[in-house]
Structure 1
């Protein structure tokens, strides 16, 4: 376009080519000129920093069509309530308790000795022995204490219960002795509270469909990549490919910031010890910056028109 045909981008080389298939004389040979530099322009596909509302709707459509209650519950707990994936996978029967406010429940976020490292929560102290379950600090709520709480609606609690009932169906378990044994032994979680439970037995809530052991982060990541692919959401091959779930927690924070939530409120919602650590969750992408610029321009125009008409 600018007449720069003497640039290195236009340098060519002559190469040998073979046209057709076959050995010996069954293929035609010739020569061809090619550019040394690749002139192709590849479209760069941006990686979402967080899940947008329209992407969440697309994900829910995929789950409705191809998956089940487990996937819906796990994603809702991250997207609508801000749980980390480790906190979700570490939930047990006794961690869902009625709130003092009717129509709501509390999820208790805490660590147990029976937890795998990928089932651990952040912001709470991890016990080093079962004896510490009786210590005062383990039974105290707060950052870097025994537990934290997340308030959920009754509808969400009922959906969790629906998944528990569906996955522990007696008819289903009667068909597989291995699943029944895994559920009894491997999915068993330490009992740390006095919450009434059926048979006084505590289990991790979310299970691997095949073996009925607690689902791992690797197993969940495999499921989530399939959901993202079907929903048309780009999954980068780099570092985010193993932490796709955190995009939902970022969405939880961004949605609240966009609705006007202040930093101290967001700190409480994210259960962080300091408001400073919440800054990482405000991570706007190009689409957000365009929207912000448009809103600023509209506000400027409104102010200008008012001043002009005075």
Structure 2
């Protein structure tokens, strides 16, 4: 990144971290997006951020399309630059935001992938053994499916975050927001068994309070959970690929299919906006249509 922009970007990332409480992943995306735009500025011989015009912004959008980038990636990059210039205006570094009226491409809506209840039963059948890792995997599967928490939220759980008496976990979500999420008897029994029978065995010489650990007693990572779930789906002989977010999608879809209201699901998932939760209505409508076609005598 050019030295010319170091002071501005340093202040911007401090703003994102302190005021916006952005995640590490979000900060990395912003950094990548800004660096790519600065390369464009050098190619166009634009020396100052204040010299970027609306025409330059549109030209940059065109170059992104010419590189055959996905719509979602292009949209994010424009959003990043719009936010960066909004910050520069707030700091009186520039007078206008050239990306303000650049239209972001609308991404194609993909229905969230989820497991049917029968498939979940098959997954649970793979974790019925009594060795320490199977006990841990069962607790992991039950808790993620039973609460719908994000995989990053799961890796951040500590022993103190689990309240077996009240049947809730304290979850630290995006932007440092905290919420309490209830869990049922299946998850409670599985996690309690893991804590009492398996975790101490796995900890060995480690000493920390992170709930889920690997075979060396170290905190389980996002990558580690993905590896565990991939192993379970292969063991269950289910088709397709699994990613940790599928359990979150499954949690929400099964709740809505069984009559839960949208606002409750939104709160349980920790969505800031109801719009994020509404994507699951497409899945539940598909489920209703399939049920109707299979069971109504005049379908």
TM-score (norm 2): 0.54
Question: Structure 1 pair 154/231, CA: closer, same or farther in 2 (3 Å)?
Answer: closer
Match of 2:234 in 1: 229
Give the secondary-structure state (helix, strand or coil) at the position aligned to 2:141. helix
Quote how far apart the aligned CAs of 1:269 are: 2.5
Output the CA distance in 1 between the equivalents of 2:183 and 2:287: 28
Paired residue for 1:180, among 204, 210, 226? 204
Query: Higher relative contact order by CA 8 Å / sep ≥ 6: 1 or 2?
Result: 1
User: Highest CA radius of gyration, 1 or 2?
Assistant: 1
Match of 2:198 in 1: 167
Residues 155 and 220 of structure 2 are in contact (CA less than 8 Å); yes or no, is this contact kept in structure 1?
yes
CA contact (8 A) 2:128 2:134 kept: yes
Are 2:127 and 2:138, in contact at CA under 8 Å, matched by a contact in 1? yes
Describe the SS at the equivalent of 1:233: coil
> Taking structure 1 as the reference length, what is the TM-score of the superposition?
0.53
Output the CA distance in 2 between the equivalents of 1:234 and 1:155.
Answer: 25
- Given that 2:138 and 2:190 are in contact with CA atoms closer than 8 Å, whether structure 1 keeps it comes out as no
Could you list the runs of 5+ residues in structure 2 that have no partner in the other structure? 1-110
Maintained 8 Å contact 2:169/2:182: yes
Q: What is the deviation of 1:286? A: 11
2:112, 2:249 within 8 Å by CA — same for their partners in 1?
no
State whether residues 49 and 285 of structure 1, in contact with CA within 8 Å, keep that contact through their aligned partners in structure 2: no
Note the alpha carbon deviations across 1:191-220, whole angstroms, 9 max, x for none: xxxxxxxxxxxx1011111x2111111122
Q: Could you list the runs of 5+ residues in structure 1 that have no partner in the other structure?
A: 1-46, 111-120, 126-143, 174-178, 189-202, 303-310
Residue 204 in structure 1 maps to residue 210 in structure 2: yes
Rounded Cα–Cα distance in structure 1 between residues aligned with 2:285 and 2:271: 27
**Higher helix proportion:** 2
Q: Deviations over 1:166-203 (max 9, x none)?
A: 2344xx57xxxxx633x12xxx2xxxxxxxxxxxxxx1
- Structure 1 distance, partners of 2:228, 2:154, is 15
Deviation for aligned residue 1:163: 0.9
For 1:71 and 1:168, the matched residues in 2 are separated by 11
Q: Number of residues paired by the alignment?
A: 187
1:73/1:160 contact within 8 Å kept? yes
Aligned match of 1:57: 121
Return the match for 1:77 from 116, 140, 143: 143
- Give the direction of change, closer, same or farther, for the CA distance of 1:73–1:262 in structure 2 (3 Å limit): same
Change beyond 3 A, Cα 1:164–1:278: same
